């Protein structure tokens, strides 16, 4: 960790102030309805000090920590896609005047947003959505505008959640790139401090404005030990190396029927997943018929409508829909975008009402591969 | 090997342009062909589609079914099956609609130079094949033998009837039409379209097949073409999937690794690696 600086909690507040002075709306973790969700942050008091989360398949609970750590939990039900690729986006409005129709594209909203507390897996998820939404022949102009002016403050994970498996997916727990600043929180010995490193020129500029001092060798060693401990205590793991080939060779495996017997096809997993990007569109018109418009909204491959063709859905069974979701994440995403669609954040495991675990499903197929009976 | 435009056309891909209907013809029960005034001179490739909006109702993918050489109009043949297609099929000359496109890959017209070409259509699948036929006939000398096999449910569902009759009178193209169910006055073929394939005595080493129809029909057609000796690389299909964006952003049209809107709708069978045989993919 070269050029590593140290900030106190006052120094962290100074970072919030510096970002706001630069015109950024700062969004970060807050406590709301018994969960940690992303919302506006004005002062350090808005952060969930002293809270942590217990996560297991189908289980999420906040509990008190013994210390006052500000980032002492894993990821919650929100991901940053809520701000970068929002749940609802109007695309255009049309005015109907006499015989004329004038269509006006919804202007792309350029927002100056600082994301505070972005975890390593989430940096990867953002990079994946960048590829999906900006990397093709056609770009999503709304996403592009929302991504243009971001300042990203990453946080290295000091603790792994019960459903985390970023170490398997090679996406964490340490933030490697894609941030302006990265923090490692150190609590204990009566001290509360953050090691900070810059990842971009703007990050360096902001860091230079803060009351920081050089980190000691002992602090750097402590941060490295913390990250190694996090990597060693992942709640889950998945052998990801050959998972694409494994799933594509087992599209008729009986395990798909097994998981379908448990899956409610509720789509929670797709809503919480930070890389799921699918949307649908809805047209509407006002009562007088003088204005019509189109919006797009998050959609899920678990709905019947998703694959509807006149006469019925292509993927009518739960088996086909779960298979589509999981093989897309772990297999065909590679063909389409040259990367996995899963970053190992564990959200789909935690927020599945019946506790279906993507790592367990892969393991079950692996152990009885080629369709051998379970 | 499907033909693909090099780049996305400029402009906002998600906002429709407003265009007007020039002419409306009824082709079959619930099926009309609209001529739409072209708002620019952009050429399309046979096999491509547009997204058509009935304002206030919704938007659906519809193939271009007209002559690619005619840059004054965009021709679409629409079967009214639900809210959006019904609203589109009700449009009259002068009415406005929204249009985005053209999108997707086209039939491999250039790769077929010097080869025999057989077009096989099921039902409305004739619509996206008609532009290919116009092109084949316009550049007749570039191709070997040309055949069109067309199967539809019943004689009254036959599309582009007058044109079909005119093509049947030509000596440089073979036309086979068959129906599933026929009244007593029908003198043509009865039965599925695949039954007409052996009669063509295709030269398997030198033939490209362009196939469009319902998925079951395409599965049987692939089997019959392979029976006739054609390889996967010689068989091109136009696939159908639910589509919302048509530009690779909404995820709806996925078929395994393929985005049908972007990589298709026309795809070479060798690219699909047997996926068509899987149920509910
Ligand atoms: C590449 C492509 C080319 C097509 N070309 C033609 C054509 O030339 N002529 C024609 O009549 N039809 C064509 N279709 C089918 C046409 O898009 C559907 O009939 C239409 O979407 C039905 O919409 P609806 O709202 O009227 O009916 P509903 O059946 O009520 O459909 C509800 C919604 O489901 C989706 N949907 C339903 N059926 C289809 C379908 N077959 N394909 C894609 N989405 C569907 C649409 O989003 C639609 O709005 C084509 C489809 C594709 C994918
Ligand atoms: S699939 Fe599950 S573990 Fe993977 S990125 Fe999505 S929510 Fe996280
Ligand atoms: S896997 Fe779980 S969260 Fe996803 S659709 Fe099925 S029941 Fe819902
Ligand atoms: S139709 Fe949206 S991705 Fe293909």
Decide: helix, strand or coil at residue B193. helix
Task: Choose, out of A84, A283, A293, the residue to mutate when testing the contact with B (most B CBs < 10 Å).
Answer: A283
Single out the residue in B103, B133, B156 at which a domain terminates: B103
Predicted-complex ipTM score: 0.93
Q: At B211, which CATH number? A: 3.40.50.80
**pLDDT per residue as tens digits for the range A72-129:** 999 999 999 999 999 999 999 999 998 899 999 999 887 899 999 999 999 999 999 9
The whole-angstrom separation of Cα A300 and Cα A321 is: 10
Please list, in sequence order, all residues whose beta carbon lies within 8 angstroms of the beta carbon of residue A11, skipping any fewer than 6 positions away.
Answer: A194, A210, A211, A212
B98 and B123 belong to one structural domain: no
**pLDDT per residue as tens digits for the range A192-249:** 999 999 999 999 999 999 999 999 999 999 999 999 999 999 999 999 899 999 999 9
A311-335 b/e (C-beta count within 10 Å ≥ 16 → b): eebbbeebbbbbbbbbbbbbbbbbe
* Whether B67 contacts B38, CB under 8 Å: no
B255 and B130 belong to one structural domain: yes
Query: What is each CA distance from A331 to A279, A323, B256, in whole angstroms?
Result: 20, 11, 9
The whole-angstrom separation of Cα B54 and Cα B226 is: 41
How many structural domains comprise chain B? 2
B83 and B197 belong to one structural domain: no
Is B248 touching ligand 4 by the criterion CB < 6 Å?
A: yes
Residue of B56, B278, B280 lying closest to A285 (CB–CB): B56
> Residues with Cβ within 6 A of ligand 3?
A 263-269, 302, 352-354, 356
B124 and B261 belong to one structural domain: yes
Helix axes A120-134, A141-148, angle to 10 degrees: 140
Ligand 1 site-directed mutation target among B45, B61, B264, most atoms within 8 Å of CB: B61
B140 and B195 belong to one structural domain: yes
pTM of the complete model:
0.95
Confidence of residue A176 (pLDDT cuts 50, 70, 90): very high
pLDDT means per 10 residues, chain B with 281 residues, are 47 91 96 94 93 97 97 96 97 97 97 97 98 98 97 96 94 95 91 94 96 95 96 96 97 97 96 87 90
Q: At B40, which CATH number? A: 2.40.30.10
Range of the domain at B70: 17-103
């Amino acid at each position: 960790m070269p050029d590593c600086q140290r900030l106190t909690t006052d120094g962290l507040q100074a970072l919030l102030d510096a970002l706001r002075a630069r015109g950024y709306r700062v969004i970060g973790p807050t406590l709301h309805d018994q969960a940690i969700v992303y919302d506006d942050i004005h002062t350090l008091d808005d952060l969930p000090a002293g809270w942590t989360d217990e996560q297991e398949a189908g289980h999420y609970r906040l509990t008190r920590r013994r210390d006052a750590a500000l980032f002492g939990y894993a990821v919650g039900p929100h991901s940053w896609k809520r701000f970068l690729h929002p749940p609802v986006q109007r695309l255009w409005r049309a005015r109907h005047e006499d015989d004329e129709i004038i269509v006006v594209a919804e202007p792309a909203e350029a927002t100056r947003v600082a994301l505070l507390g972005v975890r390593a897996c989430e940096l990867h998820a953002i990079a994946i959505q960048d590829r999906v939404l900006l990397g093709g022949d056609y770009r999503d102009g709304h996403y592009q505008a929302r991504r243009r002016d971001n300042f990203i403050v990453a946080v290295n994970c000091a603790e792994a959640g019960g459903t985390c498996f970023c170490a398997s997916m090679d996406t964490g727990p340490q933030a490697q790139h894609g941030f302006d600043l990265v923090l490692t929180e150190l609590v204990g010995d009566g001290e509360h401090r953050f090691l900070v490193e810059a990842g971009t020129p703007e990050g360096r500029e902001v860091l230079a404005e803060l009351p920081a001092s050089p980190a000691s060798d002992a602090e750097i060693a402590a941060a490295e030990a913390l990250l190694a401990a996090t990597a060693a205590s992942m709640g889950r793991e998945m052998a990801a190396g050959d998972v694409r080939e494994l799933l594509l060779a087992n599209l008729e495996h009986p395990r798909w029927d097994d998981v379908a017997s448990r899956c409610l096809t509720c789509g929670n997993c797709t809503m919480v997943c930070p890389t799921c990007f699918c949307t649908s569109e809805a047209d509407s018109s006002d009562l007088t018929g003088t204005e019509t418009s189109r919006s797009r909204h998050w959609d899920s491959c678990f709905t019947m409508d998703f694959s509807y063709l006149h006469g019925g859905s292509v993927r009518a069974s739960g088996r086909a829909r779960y298979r589509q979701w999981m093989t897309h994440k772990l297999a065909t995403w590679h063909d389409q975008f040259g990367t996995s669609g899963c970053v190992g954040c564990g959200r789909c495991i935690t927020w599945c009402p019946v506790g279906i675990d993507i790592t367990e499903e892969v393991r079950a197929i692996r152990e009885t591969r080629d369709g051998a009976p379970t | 090997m499907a033909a693909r435009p090099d780049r996305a056309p400029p402009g906002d891909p998600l906002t429709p342009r407003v265009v007007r209907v020039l002419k409306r013809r009824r082709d079959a029960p619930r099926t009309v062909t609209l001529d739409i005034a072209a708002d620019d001179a952009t050429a399309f490739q046979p096999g491509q589609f547009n997204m058509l909006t009935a304002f206030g109702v919704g938007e659906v993918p519809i193939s271009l079914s007209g002559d690619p050489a005619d840059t004054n109009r965009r021709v679409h043949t629409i079967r009214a099956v639900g809210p959006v297609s019904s609203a589109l099929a009700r449009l009259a000359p002068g009415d406005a609609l929204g249009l985005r496109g053209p999108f997707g890959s086209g039939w491999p017209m250039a790769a077929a130079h010097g080869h025999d070409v057989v077009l096989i259509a099921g039902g409305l699948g004739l619509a996206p094949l008609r532009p290919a036929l116009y092109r084949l006939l316009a550049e007749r000398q570039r191709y070997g033998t040309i055949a069109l096999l067309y199967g539809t449910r019943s004689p009254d569902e036959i599309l582009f009837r007058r044109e079909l009759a005119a093509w049947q009178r030509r000596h440089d193209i073979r036309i086979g039409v068959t129906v599933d169910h026929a009244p007593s006055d029908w003198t043509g073929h009865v039965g599925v379209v695949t039954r007409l394939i052996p009669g063509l005595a295709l030269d398997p080493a030198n033939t490209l097949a362009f196939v469009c129809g319902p998925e079951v029909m395409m599965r049987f057609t692939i089997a019959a073409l392979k029976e006739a000796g054609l390889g996967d690389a010689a068989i091109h299909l136009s696939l159908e999937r639910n589509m919302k964006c048509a530009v690779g952003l909404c995820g709806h049209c996925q078929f395994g690794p393929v985005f049908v809107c972007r990589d298709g709708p026309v795809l070479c069978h060798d690219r699909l690696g047997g996926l068509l045989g899987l149920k509910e993919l």
